[in-house]
Amino acid sequence: MAFQMKSEKIGALDAVRIITDDAEALLTPHGAHVLSFRPFVGEGEDVLWGSEKSNYEDGKAIRGGIPVCWPWFGKVNMPAHGFARLTRWNMDRPTEEADGSVTVILTYQNQEYGLAARVTVNVGKALTVTLDTENISDHAIPLTDALHTYFHVADVTKIRVSGFDGCDYYCNLAKTMNRQNGDIIFNREIDSIYSAGSRKAVIDDPVLDRRILVERFGSNTAVVWNPWIEKSAKMEDFGDEEYKNMLCVEAVNTREDARTLAPGAKHTLATRISLL
């Protein structure tokens, strides 16, 4: 069957729903953002999470889905996580691949900053998001970036994340270096930047009875985040209880994996998300 494509509105934003034989995804050109990914297996529940309190308007970040943090990660500069997630990108018409998956390309460039970006979203049995950056200026430019994926889980206190055993991580809360021992479990606020480790992490959700494989490419750092109770209460675009149903596992280039792009140089960061 050929894929289907439906135009929708989410809040004030334009969005497009892509339906293939294998999965359904919702994308918006605002921030080149994937909002939803639902493979048609099992109960077909959304793999991605979005807040009931999220803003969906020009100039504001979306709380959920896959924010593209570019051309910097975190608060090294303002706005936090870069300006790309606040801006409308150009979106091409979706095209079908030979395997029945569907590809959408979104582009954005900031001449003044000197960088151009392209996000390629491929929707099939897996969801693959690829962020290409090119230095279009005549001078070297630092780059940190992230595909800041929010995953939907039934109960974060019951899940385990594997793939980081034995990895060093920087705890953004205590500002200390630590070493991961075993799986990551969630019983407190977590905001950790993992170094290297496996490029594969698995989120094991025993309540939804599913395992989500999160792969990273072009990324030697991964961020794992859950705001827990106090931070959730402080964020105006995040429900007080919503931390129970989400976590972020992000493909990142930051800290020791920060890049510098020479004139004309390119960098590719990607994540692939699938159910095992």
Angle at 70 between CA 174 and CA 110, to 5 degrees: 145
Residue 225 in the binding site for ligand BG6 (CB under 6 A): yes
Question: Radius of gyration (Cα) for the chain, nearest Å?
Answer: 18
The only residue of 103, 172, 198, 245 in contact with ligand BG6, by rule CB under 6 A = 172
Asked if 33 is an active-site residue, the reply is: no
275/181 Cα distance (integer angstroms) = 25
Q: Which of 30, 33, 81, 148 is catalytic?
A: 148
74 exposed, middle or buried (CB, 10 Å; 0-12, 13-18, 19+)?
A: middle
Asked if 250 is an active-site residue, the reply is: yes
Q: Are strands 266-275 and 127-135 parallel, antiparallel or unpaired?
A: antiparallel
- Return the SS3 of 193: strand
The only residue of 5, 80, 140, 185 in contact with ligand BG6, by rule CB under 6 A = 80
- Nearer to ligand BG6 by C-beta: 223 or 273? 223
Q: How far is the CB of 54 from ligand BG6 (least distance, A)?
A: 10
Residue 151 in the binding site for ligand BG6 (CB under 6 A): no
Q: How far is the CB of 192 from ligand BG6 (least distance, A)?
A: 8
Contacts of 78 (CB under 8 A, 6+ apart): none
The only residue of 250, 251, 269, 273 in contact with ligand BG6, by rule CB under 6 A = 250
Residues of this chain that bind ligand BG6 (CB under 6 A)? 61, 80-81, 148, 172, 191, 223, 225, 250
Active-site annotation, residues: 148, 250
